[in-house]
Amino acid sequence: MHIKNLQQEIIGTLLAFPEEIGTVQEYLTSEEFNGEYRKVFETMEIKDGADIVTVSADTGIPSPTLLKWMEGNGSRHHLKKYCKQLQEANTRQRIVRIASDLKGMSQGSTAAQMIEFAEQSLMNVAPKTATEPKLIGESLITVFKDLEERHANKGKVVGLPTGINGLDKAINGLRGGKLYVVAGRPGCGKTAIAVNMAISAEKEGHVLFFSMEMTAAELCERSIADVGSVKYSSISSGVMESADWNRLQTAAEKIKVMDISVDDTSNISLQYIKTQARRTMAKRGLKLLVVDYLTMMDIPDGPQRTVAIGSITRGLKQLSKELNIPVLILCQLSRKVEERTDKRPIMSDLRDSGEIEQDADVIMFPFRESEYCQKCKDEIKADDHNLEKHQLLAEIGFGKNRGGRKNITIECEFNGEYQRFTDRRPEWTREK
């Protein structure tokens, strides 16, 4: 296929599916496009979700022209193939130009000059990529600097604090360049633990929280319950006592200055998250990114679902490395857990677990036995059933813990009234 046709196929597909901009960026830079095609590509790189109207306004290219480029470009399936073909065609064309230049030099240049020109030109002919390979020894300075810091602070958590001391010790805090997954059934406290982590981490810098299930206002209410020790049921119902109003006011003063931003846009794409994260990093810095939750993102149903989820988790892992921040994503477990006597989650309960397990550094399973206890649901107090204790007891297991122990359980407490996970009090901790 001719270079012009390849460019039109790629740009036409991007106009039809703007969320695929990240796929193209894996293979091509704007330099691989010419003229109006380059204008469109550069516009779509900086404007998330750009459509024909915005692209036409920004580039000056008439909408009918853009529509014509889209004709026959309704499929994403060949996009990677076309990107590779354009990359190959442009590289061949550059080599041909070098050969032509060498031919022109043959009358007035020495062989040595021609060899030097050819070597320099061919070194630069390869497609440009975001990073270049580096010798392993180049990392020694960074490694020794980190080791010295760890040695000076031995016993202290390296990464961002989660708010649960036992969990911090198990994973050494939330560290840059790593992908963390919190997976569980509804009611286990996934969003609560994510909010707790965000509140704990924001003391070190800005936190960006993508919430597709709850609005920013709902997350704010949960934060008030946690920070102010105001019962969540009171906040939800509006039945407040005078002491509640005082605690609420105190919590509001603290939350007002918290370095946490919430994006509650629904059905977002991987590219949207990447764009917002990069903008936030550039504007104010970024310490932690939270996605609540994975399966509410823009993911197609059917055979392509598993592939799409793998693309998202892989993309979020790459983003964590690019920005050197921890990325925390929440996932739903399948109903298979309900069919077992022991309801504690295992890796096979994680939907599309193969794709997620491959990319994640740490996979955590918060679990509350009281969710499956009929006496707790009926609020029955008995000699053999400590209602208060049983409702508070929680634990966090691991499906994966790269660089740490996996076969451990972090004992903690979850107070639903305050939407808060904490360390388990010593007198309630089981002997190991």
CATH code: domain of residue 20: 1.10.860.10
List phi, psi (to 5°) of 202.
-65, -15
**295 or 303: whose pLDDT is higher?**
295
How high is the pLDDT of residue 130? Answer: 45
Please indicate, yes or no, if residue 152 is contained in any of the structural domains.
Answer: no
Question: What gap in Å lies between CA 167 and CA 173, rounded to an integer?
Answer: 8
pLDDT average, residue stretch 368-378: 76
pLDDT the model gives residue 206: 94
- The reported pTM is 0.68
What pLDDT is stored for residue 344 in this prediction?
A: 86
The whole-number average pLDDT for the span 378-406 is 82
Both 31 and 97 in one domain: the answer is: yes
Residue 136: inside a domain, yes or no? no
99 and 176, same domain (yes or no): no
Instruction: Tell whether 219 and 111 lie within a shared domain.
Output: no
Residue 79 lies in a domain: yes
Beta strand 393-401 pairing with 362-367: antiparallel
Q: Are residues 412 and 285 in the same domain?
A: yes
The total number of structural domains in the chain stands at 2
Domain of residue 44: give its range. 3-123
> pLDDT tens digits for 266-279?
888 887 888 888 88
pLDDT for res 274: 85
Residue percentage of the chain with pLDDT more than 90: 24
> Is 128 part of a structural domain of the chain?
no
Can you give the three-state secondary structure of the chain, one letter per residue?
A: CCHHHHHHHHHHHHHHCHHHHHHHHCCCCHHHCCHHHHHHHHHHHHCCCCCHHHHHHHHCCCHHHHHHHHCCCCCCCCHHHHHHHHHHHHHHHHHHHHHHHHHHHCCCCCHHHHHHHHHHHHHCCCCCCCCCCCCHHHHHHHHHHHHHHHHHCCCCCCCECCCCHHHHHHHCCECCCCEEEEEECCCCCHHHHHHHHHHHHCCCCCEEEEECCCCHHHHHHHHHHHHHCCCHHHHHHCCCCHHHHHHHHHHHHHHHCCCEEEECCCCCCHHHHHHHHHHHHHHHCCCEEEEECHHHCCCCCCCCHHHHHHHHHHHHHHHHHHHCCCEEEEEEECHHHHHCCCCCCCHHHECCHHHHHHHCCEEEEEECHHHHCHHHHCCCCECCECHHHHHHEEEEEEEEECCCCCCCEEEEEEECCCCEEEECCHHHCCCC
Among 78, 107, 123, the domain boundary falls at: 123
Q: Are residues 394 and 273 in the same domain?
A: yes
Q: Are residues 173 and 104 in the same domain?
A: no
pLDDT at 347: 85
Question: What average pLDDT does the chain have?
Answer: 84
Tokens for 363, please give them: 């996979």
Residues 112 and 186 grouped into a single domain: no
- Please check the confidence at residue 71 and state whether its pLDDT lies above 70: yes
Residue 204: per-residue pLDDT: 92
Q: Which residues pair with 291 in a beta bridge?
A: 210, 329
Confidence of residue 49 (pLDDT cuts 50, 70, 90): low
Alpha-carbon gap, residue 388 to 371, rounded angstroms: 13
* Residue 300: pLDDT band with limits 50, 70, 90: low
Residues 165 and 107 in one domain: no
pLDDT of amino acid 61: 92
Q: Is the pLDDT of residue 302 over 70?
A: no
CA distance 252 to 221: 10
Over residues 124-134, the pLDDT tens digits come to: 776 654 455 66
What's the whole-number mean pLDDT along residues 298-320?
79
Average pLDDT over residues 353-377: 82
* pLDDT attached to residue 155: 67
Does pLDDT of 431 surpass 60? no
Residues 228 and 340 both lie in one domain: yes
pLDDT grade for 73, boundaries at 50, 70 and 90: low
Backbone angles phi, psi at 180, to 5 degrees: -110, 135
Whether 364 and 313 share a structural domain: yes
Which residue is associated with the tokens 């704990």?
A: 200
Q: Do 186 and 79 have their domain in common? A: no
175: pLDDT strictly greater than 70: yes
pLDDT in tens, 315-344: 899 899 989 999 999 998 888 877 788 888
- Of 124 and 293, the structure prediction assigns the larger pLDDT to 293
CA distance 250 to 33: 56
Q: Residue 313 pLDDT more than 80? A: yes
Final residue of a structural domain among 123, 143, 171: 123
Residue 255 in any domain: the answer is yes
* pLDDT at residue 171, rounded to an integer: 92
pLDDT at position 193 over 90: yes
- Does residue 137 form part of some domain? no
Last residue of a domain, one of 123, 148, 182: 123
Half-sphere exposure of 95 (CA within 13 A, CB side): 8
> Which range has the worst mean pLDDT, 65-74, 252-261, 297-306, 372-381?
297-306
d(CA 423, CA 108): 79
Residue 283 has pLDDT above 80, yes or no: yes
CATH of the domain at 383: 3.40.50.300
* 133, part of any domain: no
- Return the pLDDT at 432: 43
Q: Is residue 154 part of a domain?
A: no
Band (145; pLDDT cuts 50, 70, 90): confident
Note whether 301 and 410 are same-domain residues.
yes
